């Protein structure tokens, strides 16, 4: 069987929503993962085929692409949030954000597949202040330099019922009556996972979307402090947010990195917050102007 879509990184928060929308649209999907048990709910999608495969292996990528229809689409959603400090970025960011897109491009070229949808991030810049932004920027550069029919998406922080960002702070709010917060004034324009997924699926067969970079944002601009207060509201608590000086937040993040638990906030995350994560001035609101989507407010999570 030949597939319409190769969904790389589909086992994550965004990928699961995209997988379901692809199913609804009638597309056959091949989804490689190293964590089949975690994707067991996706087995219920009749047109989605899960396969145990390591997409970081070039030969594996080549085999996956040979199972695609020539008119098919490859979607790459792979992204990581933390890495050890290095210049211009660490090996984890390099592997996920730079080397993997390059391997995908080579595999697609070998199989003659042209359509490629790439998940980047708002603020991606090869010369940005954070390792995350620099690695995302270099990944974009590799995509733009290819001869593929690519489309790049740059979302702000993505929210949904199963997101890590809001739910992490909601969990903290249930435990702590006060949350000290660095970079409380940093700005975000959170976008719904459903809107992001809709834009990905709609763009697959839009000729005008080829060689375009789309910024995906929601209708609300919120500070970091406002987002944490919203998370507390979602958790039905009255947790107070106490803004902290930047240097204290930097020390706090360094301590988080040393703890034997998933990192809540890293120094690199703080570096990313130096730039507003919002729609740039005079730039089109692509969800509305290109995809005709009525953007979902983050307050819909309270419904």
- Name residue, tokens 């638990």: 261
Nearest C-alpha neighbor of 188 from the set 246, 253, 301, 275 = 275
126 within 8 A of 138, measured Cβ to Cβ: yes
Q: Tell me if 69 is assigned to some domain.
A: yes
**14, part of any domain:** yes
Q: What's 28's domain CATH number?
A: 3.40.50.720
* Chain centroid offset of residue 246 CA: 26
Q: Are the CB atoms for 248 and 256 separated by under 8 Å?
A: no
Query: Both tokens of residue 152?
Result: 């790049």
236 in a structural domain: no
pLDDT value at residue 147: 96
Q: Does a structural domain hold residue 77?
A: yes
Residue 157 and residue 274: Cα distance in Å, rounded?
15
> How far apart are the C-alpha atoms of 274 and 124, rounded to whole Å?
13
Contact 48, 20 (CB under 8 A): no
3-state secondary structure of 207: helix
Q: What's the whole-number mean pLDDT along residues 40-64? A: 92
> Percent helix, strand and coil across the chain, each rounded to 5?
45, 20, 35
Q: Is the dihedral of CA 110, 113, 115, 120 positive or negative?
A: negative
Q: What is the predicted pLDDT for the residue at 239?
A: 87
CB 239 within 8 A of CB 176: yes
Q: How far apart are CA 227 and CA 283, in angstroms?
A: 24
**Contact by Cβ (8 Å): 232, 239:** yes
Give a yes or no: residue 19 inside a domain.
yes
Mean pLDDT for 60-67 is 97
pLDDT in tens, 119-143: 999 999 999 999 999 999 999 999 9
Give Cβ neighbours of residue 117 (< 8 Å, ≥ 6 apart).
Answer: 73, 74, 75, 76, 150, 151, 153, 200, 203, 204
Give the side-chain half-sphere CA count within 13 A for 72. Answer: 26
**What are the C-alpha distances in Å from 227 to residues 114, 136, 191?**
39, 24, 13
Residue 20: pLDDT band (50, 70, 90) is very high
* pLDDT, tens digit, 9 for 90 and up, residues 181-219: 888 899 999 999 999 999 999 999 999 999 999 999 999
Task: Tell me whether residue 266 is in a domain.
Answer: no
**Residue 261, pLDDT above cutoff 70:** no
22 within domain boundaries: yes
Residue 36 has pLDDT above 90, yes or no: no
pLDDT in tens, 74-114: 999 999 999 999 999 999 999 999 999 999 999 999 999 99
The residue range of the domain holding 58 is 3-158+192-217+278-294
How many structural domains does the chain have? 1
User: Please, what is the average pLDDT of the chain?
Assistant: 93
| Span 138-158, pLDDT tens digits | 999 999 999 999 999 999 999
**C-alpha 265: how far from chain center:** 17
pLDDT exceeds cutoff 80 at 248: no
- What values do phi and psi take at 26, rounded to 5? 85, 20
- Token digits of residue 199: 């834009």
Return the pLDDT at 1.
83
On whether the CB atoms of residues 271 and 262 are closer than 8 A, the answer is: no
Is residue 246 pLDDT above 80, yes or no? no
User: Which percentage of the chain shows pLDDT scores above 70?
Assistant: 99
C-alpha 117: how far from chain center: 12
| Helix spans in 25-82 (H) | 58-66
Which has more pLDDT, 236 or 249?
A: 236
Are 60 and 36 within 8 A, CB to CB? no
Average pLDDT over residues 34-44: 82
Q: What pTM value is reported for the model?
A: 0.94
CA distance 226 to 251: 22
Average confidence (pLDDT) over 253-268: 77
Asked whether residue 176 is assigned to any structural domain, the reply reads no
């Amino acid at each position: 069987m030949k597939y319409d879509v190769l969904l790389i990184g589909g086992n994550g928060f965004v990928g699961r929503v995209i997988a379901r929308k692809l199913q609804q649209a009638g597309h056959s999907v091949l989804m490689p993962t190293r964590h089949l048990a975690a994707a067991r709910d996706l087995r219920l999608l009749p047109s989605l085929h899960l396969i145990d495969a390591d997409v970081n292996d070039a030969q594996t990528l080549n085999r996956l692409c040979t199972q695609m229809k020539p008119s098919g689409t490859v979607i790459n959603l792979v992204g990581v949030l933390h890495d050890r400090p290095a210049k211009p970025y660490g090996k984890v960011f390099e592997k996920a954000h730079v080397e993997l897109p390059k391997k995908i491009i080579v595999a697609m070229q070998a199989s003659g597949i042209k359509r490629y949808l790439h998940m980047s991030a708002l603020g991606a810049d090869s010369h940005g202040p954070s390792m995350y932004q620099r690695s995302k920027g270099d990944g974009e550069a590799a995509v733009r330099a290819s001869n593929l029919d690519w489309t790049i998406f740059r979302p702000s922080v993505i929210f949904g019922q199963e997101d890590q960002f809001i739910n992490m702070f909601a969990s903290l709010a249930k435990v702590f009556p006060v949350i000290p917060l660095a970079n409380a004034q940093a700005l975000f324009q959170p976008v719904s996972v459903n809107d992001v997924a809709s834009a990905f699926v709609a763009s697959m067969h839009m000729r005008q979307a080829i060689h375009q970079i789309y910024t995906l944002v929601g209708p609300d601009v919120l500070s970091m402090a406002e987002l944490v207060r919203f998370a507390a509201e979602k958790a039905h608590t009255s947790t107070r947010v106490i803004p902290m000086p930047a240097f204290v937040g930097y020390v706090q993040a360094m301590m988080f990195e040393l703890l034997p638990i998933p990192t809540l906030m890293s120094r690199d995350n703080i570096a990313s917050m130096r730039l507003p994560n919002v729609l740039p001035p005079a730039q089109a609101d692509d969800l509305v102007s290109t995809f005709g989507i009525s953007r979902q407010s983050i307050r819909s999570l309270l419904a």
